[in-house]
Amino acid sequence: MTQRQYGIVVYGASGFTGRLVAEYLNTAYGDAPELSWAMAGRSVSKLEAVREEMGISGNVDILAADASDPASLKVMAESASVIITTV
């Protein structure tokens, strides 16, 4: 099996449900090495604001991915073992 950069990517992390998932992952794992995770969505600036507001480490990456852009979704999907979509 191919090693992926992230164990989990939360797609739609700036929305209500996505924030809840990101909050849970941050509380449970933070930026601990046993689970690498990232936040993804259309607006990098919104994701950065959520990350700052929730006190999520800057080590948790942000990925730009838009449902209307198949190439961005492909990059996101290839980077993670699991995609949690809250879109």
Domain ranges of the chain: 6-85
Q: Are 15 and 23 in contact (CB under 8 A)?
A: no
pLDDT at 83: 98
pLDDT at 5: 96
Q: Please check the confidence at residue 2 and state whether its pLDDT lies above 80.
A: no
**Pairing mode, strands 80-85 and 61-64:** unpaired
Q: What is the pLDDT of residues 41-81, one digit of tens each?
A: 999 999 999 999 999 999 999 999 999 999 999 999 999 99
User: Out of 3.20.20.70, 3.40.1350.10, 3.40.50.720, 3.30.499.10, which CATH number does the structure's domain 6-85 have?
Assistant: 3.40.50.720
Q: Are 13 and 50 in contact (CB under 8 A)?
A: yes
pTM of the predicted protein model: 0.93
Q: Are 11 and 87 in contact (CB under 8 A)?
A: yes
Distance CA 5, CA 81 (A): 8
Q: Please check the confidence at residue 33 and state whether its pLDDT lies above 90.
A: no
